[in-house]
Structure 1
Amino acid sequence: MTTSCPSFLRGTAMRVTRLDACGRPVYGDGNMVVSDGFVTATLSAEVQEGDAITVTKANGQTCINEPGEDQLQWYTTQIEFCAVDPDLVQIMNQSWDKVVDAQGNVIGYNANGSLSGDGFALEIWMDVYGTGDACSGDQAQGEWGYILLPWVKGGAPGDIEIGNDAISFTYNGKTKVGSGWRRGPYPVQQQANGAPGPLLQPIGSNTHYRLFTTTIRPPEPECGAQPVDRPTPEVAELTITGVPGETPRNTVRLRADNHGFGPVVINWGDGTAETIASDGAYITHTYAAPGTQTIQVRDQQTPAVSVSKEITVPLPADEPGLTLSADSPENRYAVTAAITLPKQASGTATVDWGDGTDPVTVTVGADGTVSSTHTYKAAGVYTVSVRRSDVETYRTRAAVAVPVQASPTVTAEEDTTDATAKTVKLTWDNGTNGPVSIDWGDGSAPVDQTQTGTATHAYTTNGVKTITVTSKANPAASTQATATIPFP
C-alpha cells in the first residue's frame, strides 16, 4: 500500500446533482449540470467549541482545567460564478423557477422569497501539479483532484454588484451529514478491474466531504440541465429476523436495503404472491408450514439484479450462540469462543473480548459456526460479547475467568468389592481449584466433594451411566466419564 501526496491547483469543472429528501440522487431528465463557469468555491468550517471544565481551589490556584472537545457542525460553501446557468441555480434553489422565452428556451430565473429545497450534491475537479502516476493503468485518463460534498442544503444568494466591471454571482450553502449518496451514480474512480466506476467506498452517514485523486477524466461542461442515468445497482442487503414473542416463530421480518435505488420485489419461496417493498422498509410474511424456504429479492427496475437467502421455519432464536472454552492446556490465558449464527443472519458477527482491545469481525461457515481465539494479557474476569453484524441489538454475553481453569481429571472403574458389579469407583483431581460437584447420571441428587478424592456409588438400574464432575468455583470446568452397569 502506498500513499499519494498530491498538490492541487485551479478548479477545472463542477457538477451539481439534484437530491431528494433523503439525500439520494434524483434520476431522470434535468437533474444534473456540469459547469466550468465558477470563479471560486470556498469551504469554511463551522466548529462549536467544547465546554471547558475549570475548578479553582480556595487558595485561588487552579485545581482542574480540562478543555472541552470541539465539534464540527458543518461547512459553509460559497461559490462565485462568472457564467450563470439558470438550470444550475434552480437545482441549488429548487423553489426558484426558471424564466423561458417564447420558444420555451430557458433564459433566466426568478429569485423568489423561499429558499426551501431538498439540497444538492456538489463535485469539483482540480488539476494535480507535478504528478508522476497520471497514466498508471490501462484505463487511466490523467490525474485530477476530486472533492465531493454529498449533501449541501440551501443556495442562498450573495450580493450582486452591477458596475463598470465584470459581474459575478455568489451562492451560499451548508453541508449536511446523513446523505444517501452511497457510491453515487457517476464513474469517478478506477475499479479493481481498471474500468471507470462509482466510488469504491460508500459515503458514510457522518461525512461532510471526501477528497481524493482520480485518474478518471472530469465530465465535459455543458450549459443547461442534463439527465442523471440510473446505474445498475448492487444486490440488496437483506436483514431478516423473527417477531419477538411469537410461538412458533413462523413470521419473517425482512428489510431490503437497495442502496437508494428504489423498490424491490420479494418472492417468499412458498408459492404465495410476490411482494413489492420500498427500499429500506421492513415487511413481514408468515409461513403456513414449517420447512426450508428460499427468499429471493430482486430490483424492481433491473430484475436481473437479485439476491437469495435460505431460511428455516420455524426460525431459530435471533441471538448468536456463544460458548467459551480453553483449547490450549499450555496457555490458560487463551480463550476460544465457539459462535453460532442462525440461518436468517447475514453470516458475520462482531466479537468484543471485554478487555479493551478492538472488536473483531468473524464469518461463520456453511454450518453456521465459527471459532475465534483470543489471548488475554492479565488475569481477571472478562465479559465476552457477540453481536450480529446485520442487527446489532441481537447479542449474547458470557463471562470467563482468566487464567481459565483446567477441567478436573476423572477415572471411573468397577468397584470389585461389589459382587453384583453395579458399583462404580470414581477418582478425580481438581488440582488447586477447590471442591467439586458429582452428578452420578442416574437421577440421584449431585453430591459435593473435596477437590481431590475417591468415592463409590451403587446403581440400581442397568445401562450406560454418564458421570459429570464439575468444579464448584467454575461450572464451565467439567469432565465426564461413563460406566456400563453391570460392569462386564
Structure 2
Amino acid sequence: MTTCMIPGAWEVVRITRVDSCGRPVYGDCNAVVSRCIATITDTPEVEEAEPRTQTGFDGTACATEVGCDKVNYHTIEATWSQINLDAFSFMNPAARITRDSSGEAIGRFGTQRIDCSAGYAIEVWARSMGESDACSGQSEAEGQWYYRVYPWITGATPGDLTMGGTDEVAFVFTGRTKTRTRWGRGPYNITLTDGMPSGLPEPFDPDEEEPYWEGIVTLPPPEADCDCIEVPRPIPDPATLSIIADPADFTRMTVRLAADNNGLGPVLVDWGDGSPVQEVGDLAAVSHKYAETTYGAPVTIRVCDKEDPVVCSEKEITLPLPSDAPDMAITGAATPEEPNRIAATVVLPPQAAGHVVIDWGDRETTEADAGDTGVVDATHVYRYPGRYRVCSYRAEATRERTCTVADVPMDPYSG
C-alpha cells in the first residue's frame, strides 16, 4: 500500500553538528532541539539548460534539442525565534562563544567570516495528516509523522535583524546543502523498521547527489529543550575491510588495509601473527609486512572498534596474497525472446570483502553479495547488439577490476 505524505502542523526542529565529511559529531553539546523556529525556506538553485539548435546553410533552424535543467544545491533559510547560543557555532564555526565560570554559554561575538569547513544537519517533523495517521499499520508504532532531513548544510549567513517596534525579534540564517554526505542512516532512532527502532530506512549514498530525505516515520520527535544536548555514539556495525597487497612489495607478503568504521573513529587491528595490536584511524590505510614463516599459512586479521571492542570484523587470508582483482568469465545466454542476453561469473579473491559490482558497459550496473562462496553469477540483457566493455570490480576497492569485451549477440558457447 502506498502512503500519501500530507504534512500537518510543524512540531520540532533538530540541528546537529557534522564534520568536514558530513558525518555526525558525537559527544556532549552537539545537538539542539527546538520548537521555536518560525520558518524554514528551501529554495532549489537551478541551472537552466541551454537549448541546442542545429541550423542549415541558410541559417534557418533545422532542429532544436532542449536539455535538462540541473539543481546545483538548495538554499536553506531558517528563521529562529529562540536558539541555543551553542547552535551558532554549529552553523558557523567561526562564531566565538562566551562562557561563564561553569562553562555555560552566555553570549557570542559577531563575526564577518563564514566558516564552511564543517557544517550541520537540520531535521524537521510535522504531524502527518491522512486516513492512516494514527498507527500506519504497525502495532508498535506511536503515531505517524512527516519527516525531512538535510544531512549536510554549510554556511550560516546572517539575515536582517530589527530591534524595536512591534515585530518579534528573529534570527535569520542562510546556508547551502552539500551532497555525498556520510550521514548514513543517521545517529538517531526516528522510525520502526521490522518492529525495531532504527534510523533512516535506507542510508544516504556517499557517492550520490542526495541533498535531503523525506518520508513518513513512526517514532515521535524528540522533546524540545533549549539546552545543548549530547549526540550519543551508536553501537557500530562491524567495519568494512579493504585488503590488498601493498604495491611496493613485489613478494605480496605486505598487506595494505583500510577499515571503514562508518565515521565512528579508530579501530584496533590484530594482524594475526603475534605482532602488537595496532590502532588505525577510520578510513586510514596502513601496511603490515608478514614474516616468511607465514608463507602458505592462513592468517586471520581481526579489526575491532576501539570504543566498543566486542564489535569486530575478521578476514582470513593466505600469504602471499593472490591477485587483488576479481576473475570474470562472460558467456552467451541468448534465448529466442532475449537474443542480446549474456551471463557473467565473477570470482572474488579471498581477501575481498564480498560485494561485487558489474558494469555492463551500457550505463547499467549490477551489485551483488558474493556470500561465503566468493562467486557471483549474473545475467544482463542489452537493448541493442554491439560491442560492450564489461568490467567487474570489488565494491570496497574499486580500482581492483577486470574488464573484457562482449560482442553481442554472443554465441552461447563462446566466452
When normalised by structure 2's length, the TM-score is 0.88
Q: Is the 8 A contact 1:153 1:173 kept in 2?
A: yes
Change (3 A) 1:101 1:322: closer
Q: Is the 8 A contact 1:34 1:222 kept in 2?
A: yes
Rounded to whole Å, the distance in 2 between the matches of 1:161 and 1:403 is 71
Rounded to whole Å, the distance in 2 between the matches of 1:256 and 1:246 is 21
- Paired letter, 1:150: P
Q: Is the 8 A contact 1:320 1:396 kept in 2?
A: yes
- More relative contact order in 1 or in 2 (CA 8 Å, sep 6+)? 2
Same amino acid, percent of matched pairs: 35
Q: Which of the numbers 178, 181, 184 marks the counterpart of 2:183?
A: 181
SS of the residue 2:313 aligns to: strand
Rounded to whole Å, the distance in 2 between the matches of 1:326 and 1:112 is 66
Is the deviation greater in 177-186 or in 304-313? 177-186
Rounded to whole Å, the distance in 1 between the matches of 2:347 and 2:395 is 13
Give the C-alpha shift of residue 332 in structure 1.
8.6
5 Å matches for 1:230-379? Answer: 230-244=233-247, 246-288=249-291, 289-290=294-295, 291-325=297-331, 335-354=342-361, 356=362, 358-364=364-370, 366-374=372-380
Is the deviation greater in 213-222 or in 56-65? 56-65
Q: Is the 8 A contact 1:329 1:406 kept in 2?
A: no
Rounded to whole Å, the distance in 2 between the matches of 1:388 and 1:176 is 27
Rounded to whole Å, the distance in 2 between the matches of 1:336 and 1:252 is 33
Q: Is the 8 A contact 2:83 2:226 kept in 1?
A: no
Give the C-alpha shift of residue 138 in structure 1.
3.3
User: Any stretches of 5+ residues in structure 2 without a counterpart?
Assistant: none
Is the deviation greater in 327-336 or in 168-177? 327-336
Is the deviation greater in 198-207 or in 359-368? 359-368
- Paired letter, 1:223: C
Give the C-alpha shift of residue 202 in structure 1.
1.6
Correspondence 1:209 to 2:212:
yes
Is the deviation greater in 98-107 or in 250-259? 98-107
Rounded to whole Å, the distance in 2 between the matches of 1:102 and 1:249 is 58
Count of matched residue positions in the alignment of Structure 1 and Structure 2? 406
Give the C-alpha shift of residue 12 in structure 1.
0.6
5 Å matches for 1:7-406? Answer: 7-100=6-99, 105-116=104-115, 118-135=118-135, 136-165=137-166, 166-192=168-194, 194-205=195-206, 206-244=209-247, 246-288=249-291, 289-290=294-295, 291-325=297-331, 335-354=342-361, 356=362, 358-364=364-370, 366-374=372-380, 382-401=388-407, 404-405=410-411
Cα root mean square deviation, aligned = 2.7
Give the C-alpha shift of residue 66 in structure 1.
2.4
Q: Is the 8 A contact 1:336 1:372 kept in 2?
A: yes
Q: Is the 8 A contact 2:331 2:412 kept in 1?
A: no
Is the deviation greater in 366-375 or in 11-20? 366-375
Change (3 A) 1:97 1:201: same
Give the C-alpha shift of residue 400 in structure 1.
4.7
- Paired letter, 2:317: I
Give the C-alpha shift of residue 259 in structure 1.
0.5
When normalised by structure 1's length, the TM-score is 0.76
- Paired letter, 1:123: E
Change (3 A) 1:150 1:377: closer
Change (3 A) 1:147 1:344: same
